[in-house]
Every structure is written in structure tokens, then in C-alpha cells.
């Protein structure tokens, strides 16, 4: 049994319980449709009239895509069934059935939309597309009447769009109540302005951004004040103007990673985002002689060639002096490539070993060209220690240093 039949059976049962009893003499009654109109315009008053002989205890079941309703007749010389506006305001097909204890007759009524347009519903997306002519945005237009019914099929809609110096109008026609148009990108980037028109009614203006396509490979450079490994100055990495295959500059904010591999094979990374197609990133100089191999990536899309830069040793030597029974160790002066004191912050490491085992490792940073280590008596008791001092890639060792 279909859902429709089940629904009608339930309604019949409810009507019987509520006192709307169907008299058995409907079996001997006759009902003839006298209404001749089967097509109406949305909003019209719609009624179905029947000549009848016998019982008037009948009802009409009406349904369309918006819902269903049970109608009782107005009884006179004829049976008059007035279909409510909640049904007749919507375009489409209304199915009706005349019922007593069973279905007596059935038919259809066609409701057509009004011919005058009231609103042009327009939707568009996505709001940004990739340059190159393969990506597109879709415009969907639905011209409707004042009762929100889509107008009849084959209603003309004009889609207008403007991009840079290009302006086009395209005629499209509705089918199943709506129409659509695919608007493809151009090879240049910019903003596409779009609107639609139907029966002299215009939609609002829409805009779609045509953004650059996938970046292509690029070059990089490294800028620095000097090439000495002073642990203080900064090297700036910079890309060329990054473009797509159509020569469009990539969008601002495109993320670029710079991978740096030093001479020991260790990897560092710095990054930057493009502004006007150029990305920059910075990295502090090493504090000892070093060579870097640098390559930049836009992940999964493009990369640069590898460039190499070399840093010369800035500090070539330093002095270490002991005082206060060897418990104060002074490192310095730490002088750079012009014999100037190294800028504050150079890392100096003191490793203390006793009987072949590392007791401690102390890290200090230079201030005014010097670093001082003080070895507390409580921590480092009487005995002999091996000391190793590392700074700027230089290592100095002092074995069997005695402490009282």
C-alpha cells in the first residue's frame, strides 16, 4: 500500500471518529464534475463544482508539493469545493480526489505563475577563482512572481559581467524554474563585476576576485652587512618577485620557507610572507666560521635554486686568565675582525671534567668583550679538574687545574 493510500485511510478514520459519518447511501449516489477549467494563475480563486444525486456526505482530498488539505463542500444545487489559497498560491500541479467511503473520482489542476516578475533571486559562488581560464564561478538566477513562484520556463535572463576592459552580456533561459551561467576566469588577475536582468528587473551587483594561479619557481638572494661570523649581525634572505605561469604577481601573504643547512648538516628554518610578490626572512649570523646552503619553498607548489654563503671567522683567538686560586676564570678580551670588542651576547661554554666524567657545563654570554666564570668552593671541592672553554668556534683546554 502506498503512503498516499495510508494517509487517506487515516484521515477517513479520524473523520469517522469525530462524527463525520459517511452514509451508506453514497453507494447509490452519483457525482459529476461540471467545472471545465483546469488551468489557473497563482492567486486566483479556484473551486470545483459537482452535480450530484443522493448523498452530500463527501469530502475532497487535495495535495501539491507544499502539502495536503481536506475540504468539505458547500451544499446547494451543486457541491462546491473551494480550494484554499495556501494551495492555489503556489504554482504547480494540484491533485484532487473526491471521497466518501471510497474514492469516487480524481483529477488535476495546473497552477501557473503570474506573468509579471516581482523579484530576481540571484546567487553566485565561489567568491574567488584562479586565473587562467579553467576555473569559474557560477551564477544562478530565479525570476519569481509576487507569490514567490518561479516564472514559466524559457523566461529570458541576461547575465552581464565586466572585467578590466572586457564587458559581455549573455542571454540564458530558465528551465525547471531557474537558470545558471558559468563565468570563467581570465589570464589576468582582478575583480569581475556581475549582475543579472530579467523582464527589466535587475539584481544587485556581485563581485568575484580572480586571484593568481599556482606560483612558479623563483630565485633568492642573501644580503648582509659583512661576511664575518660575529654572532651579532643579521643576514636577510629575499626572493625575486614571485609570479604565476600567466605572469601575475602572487597574492600578498603567500608563505615562503627558507631552509638553511650548515656545514655540519644541521638544519635551520626561517620564513616570510610575500608583499608585492617578494618574501623576506632574517637569520642571525653564526658565531664561528660556517657555510650555509639556502633553498626556499612555497610548500607543494614552487621552490628556488640553492645558494651558498660563507662566513669568515671573526674572533681568531682569545685569552684565558685565572685568579683567586683558579676559581675566577676570565675569558677575553674577545675581539672581532677590526680588533673591536665583540658585541655583547657571544656564547662562551665552560665544561668542567673530573676523573674523566663531566661535572658541569656552564654557559655565559659576553659583556663588554669579556666573560667571567666563578667556581664556588662548595660546588667544586679540593682536587684537580680538566677545563675546556669554547667560544666562536675556538676551543682551549686546561688539564689538571688544581683547586684548594
Query: Is the predicted pLDDT of residue 233 greater than 50, yes or no?
Result: yes
Average pLDDT, integer, range 301-318 = 93
User: Any idea which residue has 485511510 for its cell?
Assistant: 9
What mean pLDDT do residues 207-225 have?
96
Contact 227, 216 (CB under 8 A): no
Q: What percent of the chain clears pLDDT 90, i.e. is strictly above it? A: 73
For residue 225 the three cell numbers come to: 652587512
Of 283, 313, 343, the domain-final residue: 313
Whether residue 107 sits in one domain with residue 9: yes
The answer to which of 8-17, 129-138, 268-277 has the lowest mean pLDDT is: 8-17
Rounded Cα distance, 386 and 9, in Å: 102
Going by C-beta distance under 8 Å and a sequence separation of 6 or more, which residues neighbour residue 200? none
Q: Which pTM value belongs to this model?
A: 0.70
Q: Are residues 108 and 123 in the same domain?
A: no
Q: Cα(141)–Cα(151) distance, rounded to whole angstroms?
A: 11
Domain edge (last residue) among 268, 296, 313: 313
**Which pLDDT score is estimated for 29?**
82
Torsion of CA 280, 284, 286, 292, to 10 degrees: -10
Alpha carbons 159 and 138: distance in angstroms, whole number? 11
Nearest to 209, CA basis, from 130, 280, 148: 130
Mean pLDDT of 207-228: 95
> At residue 2, does pLDDT exceed 80?
no
pLDDT reported for residue 339: 80
165 pLDDT above the threshold of 70: yes
Distance of CA 7 to the CA centre of its chain: 46
Kindly state whether residues 148 and 248 are assigned to the same domain: no
Q: Which three cell numbers stand for residue 259?
A: 631552509
Task: Name the more confident of 7 and 125.
Answer: 125
Give the burial string for 72-104 (b: 16+ CB within 10 Å, else e).
ebeeeebbebbbeeebbbbbbebebbbbbeeeb
328 shares a domain with 286: no
How high does pLDDT run on average in the chain?
90
Considering the domain architecture, whether residues 281 and 345 belong to the same structural domain is answered as no
CATH of the domain at 394: 2.60.40
pLDDT band at 256 (very low <50, low <70, confident <90, very high): very high
Q: State the Cα–Cα distance between residues 134 and 156, nearest whole angstrom.
A: 27
Average pLDDT over residues 106-112: 95
Q: What is the mean pLDDT of residues 35-53?
A: 93
Q: Are residues 268 and 350 in the same domain?
A: no
What φ, ψ does residue 45 adopt, rounded to 5°? Answer: -75, 130
What is the C-alpha separation between 134 and 185, in angstroms, rounded?
Answer: 7
pLDDT of res. 23: 43
pLDDT at 18 over 50: no
Residues 92 and 143 in one domain: no
DSSP string, 120-136: EEEEEE-SEEETTTT-E
Please answer whether residues 272 and 253 qualify as being in contact, where contact means their C-beta atoms are separated by less than 8 angstroms: no
CB 325 within 8 A of CB 300: no
Give which of 350, 361, 354 is closest to 382, Cα–Cα: 354
Q: What percent of the chain has pLDDT over 70?
A: 93
Q: Degrees (nearest 5) of the Cα angle 242, 243, 245? A: 145
pLDDT band per the 50, 70, 90 thresholds, residue 142: very high
The domain in which residue 78 lies consists of 3-112
Domain boundary among 112, 131, 157: 112
For residue 232, pLDDT over 70 is answered with yes
pLDDT of residue 21: 42
Q: How many CA atoms lie within 13 A of 99 on its CB side?
A: 22
The rounded distance, in Å, linking the Cα atoms of 79 and 51 is 7
Do 108 and 32 share a structural domain?
yes
**Are both 150 and 108 inside the same structural domain?**
no
Both 302 and 338 in one domain: the answer is no
pLDDT at 27 over 90: no
Q: What is the mean pLDDT of residues 118-134?
A: 95
Q: Return the H-helix or E-strand segment holding 352.
A: strand 347-354
Confidence category of residue 244, pLDDT binned at 50, 70, 90: very high
Q: What is the DSSP letter of 218?
A: B
What's the structural domain count of the chain? 4
Same domain flag for 253 and 293: yes
Q: What is the distance between the alpha carbons of residues 249 and 194, in angstroms, rounded to a whole number?
A: 24
DSSP character for 300?
T
3-state SS class at 228: strand
Using CA atoms of 227, 229, 231, 237 in order, give the dihedral in degrees to the nearest 10. Answer: 40
My answer on whether 189 and 104 are in the same domain is: no
Q: Does residue 12 carry a pLDDT above 60?
A: no
- Is the N-terminal amide bond of 333 cis, ω within 30° of 0? yes
Q: What is the mean pLDDT of residues 337-360?
A: 88
CATH number, domain containing residue 128:
2.60.40.10
Amino acid at each position: 500500500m502506498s503512503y498516499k493510500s495510508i494517509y487517506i485511510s487515516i484521515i477517513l478514520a479520524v473523520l469517522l471518529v469525530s462524527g463525520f459519518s459517511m452514509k451508506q447511501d453514497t453507494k447509490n449516489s452519483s457525482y459529476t464534475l461540471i467545472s471545465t477549467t483546469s488551468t489557473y494563475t497563482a492567486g486566483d480563486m479556484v473551486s470545483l463544482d459537482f452535480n450530484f444525486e443522493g448523498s452530500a456526505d463527501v469530502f475532497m482530498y487535495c495535495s501539491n508539493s507544499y502539502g495536503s488539505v481536506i475540504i468539505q463542500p458547500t451544499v446547494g444545487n451543486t457541491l462546491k469545493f473551494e480550494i484554499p489559497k495556501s494551495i492555489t498560491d503556489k504554482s504547480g500541479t494540484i491533485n484532487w480526489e473526491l471521497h466518501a467511503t471510497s474514492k469516487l473520482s480524481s483529477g488535476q489542476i495546473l497552477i501557473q505563475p503570474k506573468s509579471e516578475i516581482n523579484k530576481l533571486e540571484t546567487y553566485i559562488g565561489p567568491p574567488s577563482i584562479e586565473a587562467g581560464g579553467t576555473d569559474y564561478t557560477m551564477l544562478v538566477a530565479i525570476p519569481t512572481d509576487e507569490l514567490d513562484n518561479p516564472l514559466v520556463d524559457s523566461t529570458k535572463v541576461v547575465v552581464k559581467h565586466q572585467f578590466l576592459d572586457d564587458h559581455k552580456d549573455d542571454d540564458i533561459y530558465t528551465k525547471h524554474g531557474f537558470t545558471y551561467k558559468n563565468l570563467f576566469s581570465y589570464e589576468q588577475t582582478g575583480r569581475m563585476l556581475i549582475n543579472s536582468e530579467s523582464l527589466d528587473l535587475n539584481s544587485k551587483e556581485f563581485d568575484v576576485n580572480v586571484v593568481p594561479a599556482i606560483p612558479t619557481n623563483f630565485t633568492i638572494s642573501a644580503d648582509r652587512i659583512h661576511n664575518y661570523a660575529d654572532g651579532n649581525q643579521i643576514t636577510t634572505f629575499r626572493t625575486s618577485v614571485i609570479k604565476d605561469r600567466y605572469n601575475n604577481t602572487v597574492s600578498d601573504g603567500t608563505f615562503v620557507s627558507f631552509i638553511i643547512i650548515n656545514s655540519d648538516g644541521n638544519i635551520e628554518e626561517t620564513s616570510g610572507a610575500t608583499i608585492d610578490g617578494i618574501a623576506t626572512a632574517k637569520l642571525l649570523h653564526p658565531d664561528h666560521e660556517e657555510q650555509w646552503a639556502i633553498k626556499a619553498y612555497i610548500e607543494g607548489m614552487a621552490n628556488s635554486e640553492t645558494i651558498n654563503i660563507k662566513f669568515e671567522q671573526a674572533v681568531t683567538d682569545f685569552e684565558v686568565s685565572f685568579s683567586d686560586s683558579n676559581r675566577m676564570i676570565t675569558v677575553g678580551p674577545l675581539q672581532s675582525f677590526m680588533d673591536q670588542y665583540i658585541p655583547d651576547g657571544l656564547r662562551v661554554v665552560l665544561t668542567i671534567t673530573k676523573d674523566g666524567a663531566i661535572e658541569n657545563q656552564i654557559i655565559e654570554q659576553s659583556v663588554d668583550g669579556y666573560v667571567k666564570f666563578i667556581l664556588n668552593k662548595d660546588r667544586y671541592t679540593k682536587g684537580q679538574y680538566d677545563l675546556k672553554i669554547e667560544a666562536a668556534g675556538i676551543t682551549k683546554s686546561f688539564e689538571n687545574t688544581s683547586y684548594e
